[in-house]
Amino acid sequence: MTISRNTLILLIACTGVFVEALDIAILNLSIPLIQKQFSVSTGTVQWLQTLYVLLYGSFLIIGGKLSDVSGRKRVFLAGIALFFLASIGAGFSDSFSQLAGFRALQGLAAALVMPSALSLITNTFTELTARSKAIALFSSFAAIGSGSGLSLGGIIATYAGWQWVFFINVPVLLLIGGLALRYIPADPIYRTRQIPDLLSGALLAFTLLLITYVVHTIGQSASPLWHQLVLIGLVVLSIRWLQFRTIRQTDPLIDISLLRAPTTLTGLGVTLLLGAFFTGFLFVQSITLQQYMGFSAARAGILLFPFSLLSAVVGKLLIPALLRRMPVLQMGILGMGMMAIGAVALIGSLQLGYPLWLLLISVACISGFGMAICFTSLTLLVIADIAVEHQGLASSVGTTAYFLGGGLGLSILSLLMPSETNVTNGLIWPAVGLLVYAIVGVVWLGRHAYVKRRRASTQDKHLLRTIDEVL
């Protein structure tokens, strides 16, 4: 049996995005082991996830533009090579700062792999039906990687050590890189190359990391006031500089004018909250199961695996039915409502002495149902009022908003984490923070739905009045 070149390219791209998606979740159940080895606080260890998602989100659009101007194959191979080196470095790290640095490099590498892999598929499969099937498979690999990351990470960390959470990437990336070199066609020679605004991408990453650091620093009472004021001033200057560059560039990093539609802004804002909620939930869930309920990483991973399957079933069977029966806005409200119910169940579990059944209800509402419903509805909401030719950019900005929300939201939750000297309240306040994220999301979507309904009603009344005057 021979495999066509197109099929090989599809498998290469899908495997690349599988590793990238896997690495977002695979570290969560290893966090308590890393925290114990390096003797760092819960608020400090969260930087491993914060750095990954912030670098990923900040450079995702740059990665897509580089793929267009520098070549899909070049950028894909560069991302795979950087991910390979960062994974080796992370596994051999002998200090927390080293590990955090290599984790940040993994996020940067993922920002190169994701858009270039998708570009490989869309340029390899030009026929509409074949392209749709290829993109569906690509999305499935991403979902499987993200869903299996928790379980796989817990088992690996327990029986092989947390270092192998990173080392497991190495042989897979070697294989992908070798196949990509051999089978992906060479990039075309570009006569003119418009280099994307790399400085704005770096400035965006710096600004977001600075905001995250400011949030973390302000939460520490030992930080002097002058230090906090200097950091806040730097944040303001960075934001102003980024705004200036966006206005002055002929090909800006993000064309803000395309994203001013109220529906798009609502979708992006709630997507930001979704990223903050779900990334924070995975972190709190891992700490709860292992540090407060005494689960090993492997046992926690096995316990959570069925909910990954539930999410896949919801995506396959329930989501299409919901899309046929309710507007996207209502679907988003339903999804964020499930997140809020899950947060309430989590708070109840933490308050009542960690009954497992209540925690599992929380996981079912959030990981099983809420996440699948929210992600689909918000993705559609972001692009609803955008012209077809700009929907790709809007979708990329939506993905960026999700990961940026994850980084910023997790940093805010770290302020509510219990200190080593005061763990009597456990993780109740971080769980309350998650509930606030969800409630704000529900209110935001509900308000937008109300405004749209009133506007439509006003337009209908105006139309009827005009008809009466004519008649």
Closest C-alpha among 135, 102, 92 to residue 23: 102
DSSP string over 125-146: --SHHHHHHHHHHHHHHHHHHH
Residue 262 CB coordination number (10 Å): 12
Question: What is the pLDDT, as a whole number, of residue 149?
Answer: 80
Cα(168)–Cα(91) distance, integer angstroms: 10
Question: What is the pLDDT, as a whole number, of residue 93?
Answer: 94
Under 8 Å CB-to-CB from 434, ≥6 apart: which residues?
277, 280, 281, 284, 339, 343, 346, 413
Residue 112 CA, chain-centre distance (Å), reads: 15
Question: What is the pLDDT, as a whole number, of residue 220?
Answer: 60
Closest C-alpha among 438, 437, 413, 416 to residue 426: 416
Q: What are the residue boundaries of the structural domains of the chain, listed by start? A: 1-187, 197-252, 258-471
* pTM, rounded to two decimals: 0.82
Cα(163)–Cα(182) distance, integer angstroms: 30
Under 8 Å CB-to-CB from 132, ≥6 apart: which residues?
none
Q: Which CATH class is domain 1-187?
A: mainly alpha
Block means of pLDDT (10 residues each) for the chain, length 471 residues? Answer: 77 87 83 90 84 86 81 91 96 94 94 87 80 74 75 86 92 93 80 66 81 73 74 86 78 72 90 92 89 87 84 82 88 94 95 92 91 86 76 76 86 76 67 95 93 68 51 48
**Which neighbouring-strand residues pair with 422?**
419
Q: Tell which CATH architecture fits domain 258-471.
A: Up-down Bundle (1.20)
Cα(374)–Cα(252) distance, integer angstroms: 29
Cα(6)–Cα(343) distance, integer angstroms: 44
Question: What is the pLDDT, as a whole number, of residue 274?
Answer: 94
Contact assessment for residue 133 and residue 281, using Cβ atoms and an 8 Å cutoff: no
Opening angle at CA 245, ends 243 and 251, nearest 5: 115
